[in-house]
């Protein structure tokens, strides 16, 4: 087996393990904090706000370190941080609710150490011509994990204990470390320091970059920010147990895995704009239905639409992120490009969680359904930017 193919398989394996952590940290841990802080939305928002504030700061602070070839080491430190976090949770249990801000900061450190270098690691190991297939098959495999994980975690968290579940996750993080340690970094020449200011001046008139950063800002507000958290909280609020939360997530994952396989197998760049248009309309209509007819059935329909739409948008966005990074005028600033992208993404997250925190303090929980509508509008804006970006790709002949 070639070194490149081996690295790709290892990246898929570690991404799948990270999916399990993500489901716990962004779904069940939020459920745990929500239930043990007397359904306090502001506490959940504070946890996420501090986390993503930390991500934004670290993405910039570690830029030079990563650019000079330390991206694998940085990711490995993120794995060790994950293990330490799980071990701390085992000892603290319910007392973790007394340290929400600290937990948010630790979550932010872990996310920054993993999320930022992994994009560069993928760019190093996956050719542009393989991106659609790579993302399609990766997401299909990850969704097999997404089907099984929520039900298993939900069952054990409801009927057993957080202690045994988190102990298992800590063990998985050690497995991830062993797997990831086998990835070999490509040889790189000595690179100069980051030139953020120079990059911004060079790229400010680049429409591809501007559309991409607009997408990432909206992505931070919605599918990787307050909207995702609010949907999780509403699910817990309406259906009460972690098992129901996991069951709903797994059922949705069963549908999505089929869509992901079709995407990876048959989708072409020229279809991206149409996919974004249809899915954007679908999710906006579903939230309007829920606002005017608020019940469990309509919420499940909205949740399903959001889940399907967010999955397609993640894949299309990720592919476009790498396509823009491989443009001739961006290649020499690839690290700067990813750092600024991370900043826009986290600004969106901070705006979203900041608004959710304020509303959690001053408003009753049921009133927050109207905030769902506000945040879903940003999904429509995200689709618009995505359509413009892909039309621009096709028009200029960059992609076919």
Instruction: Write out the H or E segment, with its range, that includes residue 14.
Output: helix 3-23
For the whole model, what pTM was predicted? 0.73
Say if CB 311 and CB 184 are below 8 A apart. Answer: no
Which residue ranges form the domains of the chain, and what is each CATH number?
3-182+191-395 (1.20.1250.20)
- pLDDT given for residue 87 in this prediction: 85
Give the Cα separation of 249 and 154 in Å (integer). Answer: 10
Residue ranges with strand state E in the chain: none
Decide: helix, strand or coil at residue 72: helix
C-alpha R_g of the chain: 20
pLDDT of the chain, 400 residues: tens digit per residue: 566 677 778 888 888 888 888 777 777 777 777 777 666 677 778 888 888 888 878 877 776 676 666 778 888 888 888 888 888 888 777 777 788 888 888 888 888 888 777 777 777 777 766 776 777 677 778 777 877 776 677 666 665 566 777 888 888 888 888 888 887 765 555 556 677 788 888 888 888 888 889 999 999 888 887 777 777 777 777 766 555 555 666 676 677 777 767 776 767 777 788 888 888 888 889 888 888 888 888 888 888 888 777 778 888 888 888 888 878 788 778 778 888 888 888 899 889 888 888 887 777 767 777 888 888 889 889 889 988 888 888 777 665 4
Provide CB contacts within 8 A for 397, sequence distance 6+.
Answer: none
- pLDDT given for residue 400 in this prediction: 47
Exposure string for 19-52, b = 16+ CB within 10 A, e = fewer: bbbbbbbbbbbbbbbbbebeebbbbbbbbbbbbb
Instruction: Write out the H or E segment, with its range, that includes residue 19.
Output: helix 3-23
- pLDDT given for residue 217 in this prediction: 93
Give the Cα separation of 83 and 89 in Å (integer). Answer: 10
């Amino acid at each position: 087996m070639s070194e490149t193919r081996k690295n790709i398989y290892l990246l898929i394996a570690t991404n799948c393990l990270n999916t399990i952590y993500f489901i716990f940290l962004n779904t069940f841990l939020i459920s745990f904090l929500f239930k043990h802080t007397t359904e306090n939305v502001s506490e959940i928002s504070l946890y996420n706000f501090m986390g993503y504030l930390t991500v934004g700061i670290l993405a910039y602070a570690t830029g030079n370190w990563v650019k000079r070839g330390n991206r694998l080491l940085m990711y490995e430190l993120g794995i060790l941080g994950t293990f330490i976090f799980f071990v701390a949770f085992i000892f603290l249990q319910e007392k973790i609710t007394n340290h929400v801000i600290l937990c948010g900061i630790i979550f932010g450190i872990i996310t920054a150490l993993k999320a930022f270098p992994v994009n560069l690691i993928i760019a190093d190991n996956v050719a542009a011509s393989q991106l659609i297939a790579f993302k399609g098959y990766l997401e299909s495999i990850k969704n097999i994990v997404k089907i099984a994980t929520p039900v298993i975690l939900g069952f054990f968290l409801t009927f057993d204990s957080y202690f045994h579940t988190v102990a298992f996750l800590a063990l998985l993080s050690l497995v991830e470390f062993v797997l990831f340690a086998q990835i070999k970094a490509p040889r790189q020449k000595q690179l100069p320091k980051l030139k953020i200011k120079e990059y911004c001046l060079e790229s400010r008139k680049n429409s591809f970059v501007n559309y991409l950063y607009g997408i990432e800002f909206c992505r931070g507000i919605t599918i990787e920010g307050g909207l995702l958290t609010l949907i999780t909280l509403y699910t817990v609020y309406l259906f009460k147990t972690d098992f129901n939360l996991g069951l709903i997530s797994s059922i949705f994952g069963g549908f999505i895995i089929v869509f992901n396989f079709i995407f990876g197998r048959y989708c072409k760049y020229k279809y991206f704009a149409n996919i974004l248009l249809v899915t954007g309309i679908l999710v906006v209509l579903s939230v309007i239905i829920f606002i005017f007819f608020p019940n469990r059935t309509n919420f499940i329909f909205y949740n399903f639409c959001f889940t399907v739409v967010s999955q397609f948008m993640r894949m299309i966005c990720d592919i476009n992120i790498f396509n823009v990074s491989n443009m001739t005028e961006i290649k020499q600033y690839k690290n700067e490009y990813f750092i600024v992208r991370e900043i826009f993404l986290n600004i969106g997250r901070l705006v979203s969680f900041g608004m959710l925190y304020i509303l959690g303090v001053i408003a009753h929980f049921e009133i927050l359904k109207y905030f769902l509508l506000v945040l879903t509008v940003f999904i429509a804006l995200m689709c618009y930017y995505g359509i413009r970006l892909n039309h621009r790709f096709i028009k200029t002949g960059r992609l076919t």
